[in-house]
Structure 1
């Protein structure tokens, strides 16, 4: 059984389909909204799990898009740096206090939002 920090392995070695970036952004905005009350513990845990899944699904997609660009391309470099950060975030535990759980969820939201931005940017890059 995989723990909460291990993304699911795609079946038959296939890359999972990238999530809908609009959905990723909506969830991220909800956690990052200034002055918003944190969601209840159960809802926060569910949101964090979904964000983890979305990050795990966006990583191979963004990486594939970045790899098509020249090595000296700035958007490629930015995306690859973000991918390193995203992989690090997936190794975070869930936290053992409410404050830590919220902190992890916020970090996941920021990372998922950044990956969605890179996905959008790289898809438009000629």
Structure 2
């Protein structure tokens, strides 16, 4: 998982916060000329809350090893969202014995571009773990 959206992040309260934070952009899109792109974005926005609440209920199988590679800089600009993102990554890793948390220091959300070595190393470690 490379800086992945993980189910523990999308609690009802966090999903509601994200929906509310995007509400002004959605309102602007509704006023913009309707193109395929705006129509698609509006459809995604309408489904965002229900989809992410359902995603929160899912879990990764405990018997499948996983590595969560996280960026030092989260994809969220607000401190509370960034903290909840980090907490969700830690919760995911703590939920099963064969999971690892790897932090890509000095990385943006685009870890594979910023630090491909971290991703390669984590994949190699995973392969070695399951052999």
- The structure that is strand-richer by fraction is 2
TM-score by length of 2: 0.32
Larger Rg: 2
